[in-house]
Structure 1
Amino acid sequence: MKAPRFKGWFAKLPSLNLLQHRRVLEGLHPAVGLDQVVTLISEVRAPRRCCPRCGNERCYRHGFANDLQRYRCCACGRTFNDLTGTPLARLRLKAKWLAYSQVMLDSLSVRKAADRVGVHRNTAFRWRHRFLHWAKLDRPAALNGIVEAGETFLLESQKGSRTLKRPPRRRGGRAAKRGISSELDCILVARDRNGGTIDAVTGRGALTVAQLERDLLPRLDVQALLVSNSHVAYRAFARKHRIGHAAVNLRAGVRLRHLGSRAIHVQNVHAYHQRFKTWLLRFHGVASCYLPNYLGWRWALDGERVIAPEHLLRIAVRVINR
């Protein structure tokens, strides 16, 4: 639109009634959202862009497609944009991404999220796990000082699967076997006293030393004091890797004891378990294969680590074409 025509259109805005004002705002909102998303993507872009196929840094601009600048590699001839190689590649409706990020911060179910943003429920579900792809990996490099560790269990779920690997059961049912069995997903959570948290779905059934070596050892500082319940796996793990270890016997009713001037307990981990399970109830069941994504989602929300939709979108994009 040329400037004189735009000025004439803009001068008529005060004469619009309330309904017309709302229609104008509804029409402008997607364009504003698209501009915000494109600007944010350009800010997060890696300073040294390279070809996602061959890694060559020599590239030149090659037009626009889907509202993004495209580039062509001088070595292999591949074309790419700023989202190529990221979880958000090939997703459409960019103007609604910030609105959907706010939905994620509000922890809405798939259907409620779809209704608020104005997309199909399948799109809302697909976006949820694309946005969480990097969020589940956004963890502290190491846990220091006193590190509390504990496991909790959720009933294994194959929600959404077309073919079940077991006989079907009613939603919200119980395991057929008593105690800790292969019907339960084991979730390991470790937290230090500064709030740093790592978690992992270790597998089915009771916790083992091999699982601790895989999921906890790489993030555990060598000088850390590991505090846990009286499970034998923690004791064997700490002895094998010469890690300081203290245990509280919860079965005997011991919740707190002192080691010198340090308080030995696992209340921080148990509180995190409770917050996670309470928050998970709003989704009416979560498939076991998606549990790592929901753990990452809860960690992003816990303690208000992510409070703005722009921040969540930055985590979802992460580093582009590095």
Structure 2
Amino acid sequence: MNAADFRRLLRQAGLLSRQQRSLLIESLRPALGLDQVCEVIDGVRPAPLCCPGCSGTRHYRHGIVRGLQRYRCRACGRTFSALSGTPLARLRHRSKWLDYLRDMLDSRSVRAAAVRIGVHRNTSFRWRHRFLDGARRDQPERLAGIAEADEMFILESQKGSRRLDRPARKRGGHARTRGITHEHDCVLIARDRSGQTCSCITGRAAVTARQLHRHLLPVLDPDVLLVTDGHVAYRTFAREAGIAHAYVNLRAGERMRGAVHVQNVNAYHQRLRGWLSRFRGVASRYLPNYLAWRWALDEDRINAPKHLLQTAIAIFHIQR
């Protein structure tokens, strides 16, 4: 539309009725949502932008597709955008992304979010895990000061799988034997006193010292004081890694000894377990994504859709 037609349209806007103005605003919502998404993407794109095919930095503009600038690489001739090579590439309905991310911040289920946004439930499921694929890498690099570590156990689930390697359980069911067995996923949570939290899946059954070396050691500051329960794996790990270690004997009824306690990480366990219950079971293969989702929501660390999208895209570009 040229400038004269646009000015004429603005003069006529004042003549619209209330119903017509409401219809006009609703018709502009998708375009405004697309503009906001593209603004966030352009704000976090790396400089210089590299070709995902040959990593070349020499390119020129090659049109705009769905509101996003595309480029053509001078070296290999491939076209790409700021989302090429990321989990968000080829996702459609970008104008609805921010509305969907708002539902994720409200912890809505897949079907509830699909109904509210107006997309298919399979699209809702795909969006959820594409956004969380990058967010799960958004964890603190180091835990310093006093860091508490403890594990929680969640019954292994093959929810959504077409082929089970075990007999199906009715409505989630229970483990075949009592106690912690290989039917439980071990979720290790490490949290320092400033609130920085790292979480991971170490495997099945009880945690071992070897798993702690693999998952916990890279995120601990050398001068950290590690506080745990009396599990022998933590004592073996701390001795082998040369890390200061203190523990409370929970079996003997000891809950606190001065600053030595695991109440912060246990409170996080309680919030995590209560939050997971609303989803009526989480498949083990997607559990790392839900751990990242809970960390994003904890204490309103991320409380705006734009911030969540910006964080995810920034992480994607770091990994490329």
Asked if Structure 1 and Structure 2 have the same fold, meaning a TM-score greater than 0.5 normalized by the shorter chain, the answer is yes
Structure 2: unaligned runs, 5 residues or longer: none
Q: Which amino acid aligns with 1:155?
A: L
Residue 312 of structure 1 corresponds to: 308
Residue 281 of structure 1 corresponds to: 277
Residue 213 of structure 1 corresponds to: 213
Residue 121 of structure 1 corresponds to: 121
Shift of the alpha carbon at 1:283? 0.9
**Greater shift in the superposed pair: 3-12 or 76-85:** 3-12
Per-residue CA shift, 1:255-300, capped at 9, x if unaligned? 0013xxxx10000000000000111111111100000000000000
Residue 13 of structure 1 corresponds to: 13
Shift of the alpha carbon at 1:198? 0.4
Q: Which amino acid aligns with 1:161?
A: S
**Matches of 2:73 and 2:11, distance apart in 1:** 47
Residue 204 of structure 2 corresponds to: 204
1:295 pairs with 2:291: yes
C-alpha contact 1:85 1:320 (8 A) present in aligned 2: no
**Matches of 2:11 and 2:65, distance apart in 1:** 34
**Matches of 1:223 and 1:55, distance apart in 2:** 39
What is the count of residue pairs matched by the alignment? 318
**Matches of 1:9 and 1:72, distance apart in 2:** 37
1:136 pairs with 2:155: no
Residue 191 of structure 1 corresponds to: 191
**Matches of 1:274 and 1:154, distance apart in 2:** 12
Report the secondary structure of 2:171's partner residue. Answer: coil
**Matches of 1:171 and 1:231, distance apart in 2:** 32
Report the secondary structure of 1:25's partner residue. Answer: helix
Report the secondary structure of 1:265's partner residue. Answer: coil
**Matches of 2:159 and 2:18, distance apart in 1:** 46
Q: Which amino acid aligns with 2:149?
A: A
**Matches of 1:171 and 1:141, distance apart in 2:** 38
**Matches of 1:115 and 1:12, distance apart in 2:** 35
Residue 182 of structure 1 corresponds to: 182
Shift of the alpha carbon at 1:99? 0.9
C-alpha contact 1:87 1:317 (8 A) present in aligned 2: no
Report the secondary structure of 2:170's partner residue. Answer: coil
TM-score, normalising length from structure 2?
A: 0.96
Q: Which amino acid aligns with 1:22?
A: S
**Matches of 1:93 and 1:100, distance apart in 2:** 10
Residue 58 of structure 1 corresponds to: 58
Against the structure 1 CA distance between its residues 142 and 320, is the aligned structure 2 distance closer, same or farther, given a 3 Å change threshold? closer
C-alpha contact 1:181 1:205 (8 A) present in aligned 2: yes
Per-residue CA shift, 1:119-169, capped at 9, x if unaligned? 111111100011111111111111111110000001110000011110001
Report the secondary structure of 1:171's partner residue. Answer: helix
Q: Which amino acid aligns with 1:177?
A: T
**Matches of 1:121 and 1:185, distance apart in 2:** 27
Structure 1: unaligned runs, 5 residues or longer: none
The one of the two structures with greater contact order (alpha-carbon pairs below 8 A, sep at least 6) is 1
**Matches of 1:126 and 1:100, distance apart in 2:** 12
Against the structure 1 CA distance between its residues 288 and 257, is the aligned structure 2 distance closer, same or farther, given a 3 Å change threshold? same
C-alpha contact 2:35 2:67 (8 A) present in aligned 1: no
The sequence identity of aligned pairs, in percent, is 59
Shift of the alpha carbon at 1:170? 1.0
Q: Which amino acid aligns with 1:281?
A: S
Shift of the alpha carbon at 1:20? 2.5
Residue 232 of structure 1 corresponds to: 232
Report the secondary structure of 2:143's partner residue. Answer: coil
Shift of the alpha carbon at 1:74? 1.6
Shift of the alpha carbon at 1:52? 1.2
TM-score, normalising length from structure 1?
A: 0.95
Alignment of 1:95-110 (within 5 A): 95-110=95-110
**Matches of 1:314 and 1:133, distance apart in 2:** 14
**Greater shift in the superposed pair: 2-11 or 106-115:** 2-11
Residue 78 of structure 2 corresponds to: 78
Output the aligned Cα RMSD: 1.4
**Matches of 1:126 and 1:80, distance apart in 2:** 22
**Matches of 2:48 and 2:155, distance apart in 1:** 46
